[in-house]
Structure 1
Amino acid sequence: MAYLPLDEYQRKWIFTHQSMPVSEQDLIHIKPITQQRAAHLWMENISKQSPDAERLSSSDWPSKASNWSDEVDWSAAWEADDPELPAEILEHIDWQDDVTVYFCYEKYNIIETKWSIFKKHWKNFLFFDDGPILIGRRRTEALWFNTNGTVKIGQRIL
C-alpha cells in the first residue's frame, strides 16, 4: 500500500485539533493513502465511474436501497461527551480490533486504519461528513455517513 505521510495530508488538522487531539501512538495508525492508490481502491470497492458519494450511479452498490438495513442518527453521539460510536453501529459491525478499515471520503481521499483506532477516534474522522463510506478489508459490512447526521448501516455487495 502506498501511503502519504500524515504531515503532508491536507486534512491532518482533524487529527491534531486542540479540542480532540489524537495521541502520537494512535496517529501512526492513521494512514492517508496516496491519490493513485486511493483511486484504485475506490474503483474496486465503491464505484468504477463516480468520484464521490454525491455522484454515485444507480449501478453502484451504495446507491441500492436493498444494501442498507438501517439508518440511525450519529450526530447526537458526536456532540455528546461520551466517546462511543452509536450502539446501533457497534451492534452491526462486530469486527476484531485489528481489522483494517478504509474511511473513504472520495475517490482520491481515503484513510486506512484499524477498526480499534476508528472506533476510538471516529469523531475526528467525521469532522468532514460529506458522504464518507467506511468499509473493512475482506468484510461486507459498511457504513455510509451523511451530512444530515445519519448513517446508513448495511452490506456492500460487489
Structure 2
Amino acid sequence: MYQSLDQFPKNWIFKRQDPKVMPEDLQAIRLLSEERAAQIWRDYVSDGQVHPDHFTANDWLNKDAAKVTDGKLQWEKVWDSEQSALPDAVLEHFASWGEDTTVFFCCHSDVVFELPWGVFQRCWKAFLFLDNGPVLVGKKKKHAAQFHSNGWMNLLLRVV
C-alpha cells in the first residue's frame, strides 16, 4: 500500500533545510504504492486522465459546479515569503477539516501522497516544489484545491 519516500526521485523536497520538514512530520508523509495511487487518482481526481496536463472539460475540476466563488488565489507570493502558514483563504476553505483528516496530495496517477491535514499545513511549502497541477483532496471530503506552476491555485468543491 505504501512505498518508501526514499524511492521517490524528488525526495530532496522533504530533506531541505528551507523549508524544513520536521522528522515527526516526515514520518506521517506516506508515498502510496503505484497501484494504490492509481486507485486514489481514479476515485478522487480523474478516471479518464493520468496527469493534470491532460484534464479535459469532462473532469470534475474543470466543471463550473466545482469552482468556488473567488477561489482563484495566488499561492506563490506566500510561498516565497517568510510566512509559514497557508494563505488565509485556503485555511478558510478547508476550515471543516480537522488536523487528523486524511488528505491526498495527488501529483499524477502514479504519485500520490497520504498524510494528515495538520502535517500538510506545516509542510505545504515542501510539497509545492511539485507544482505542476497537483490536486489536494481530503478522504471522503468535498473540498479540494489544485496548484498550478504559474503561482496560482483554484479552490474547488469535488463534484462527481
TMscore range, shorter length: over 0.9
Match in the other structure for 1:143: 145
Instruction: Look up the SS of the partner of 1:105 in the other structure.
Output: strand
Alignment of 1:1-158 (within 5 A): 2-69=1-68, 70-94=71-95, 95-158=97-160
Alpha carbons 2:104, 2:136 under 8 Å: kept: yes
Cα distance between partner residues in 1 of 2:146 and 2:19 = 23
Shift of 1:58: 1.6
Q: Distance in 1 between matches of 2:150 and 2:19?
A: 22
Distance 2:51 2:134 in 1: 9
Q: Secondary structure at the match of 1:88?
A: helix
Q: Which runs of 5+ in 2 are unaligned?
A: none
Percent identity over the alignment is: 32
Cα deviation, residue 18, structure 1 = 2.8
How much does 1:141 deviate?
0.2
**Whole-angstrom distance in 1 between the partners of 2:64 and 2:150:** 18
RMSD, aligned α-carbons: 0.9
Structure 1 unaligned residues grouped into runs of 5+ = none
* Alpha-carbon separation, structure 2, partners of 1:92 and 1:23: 25
SS where residue 118 of structure 2 aligns?
helix
Quick check: 2:104–2:113 contact (8 Å CA) kept in 1? yes
Give the count of matched residue pairs. Answer: 157
Q: Is the 8 A contact 2:61 2:156 kept in 1?
A: no
The secondary structure found in structure 2 opposite 1:28 is: helix
**CA separation in 2, counterparts of 1:148 and 1:9?**
24
AA at the equivalent of 1:44:
D
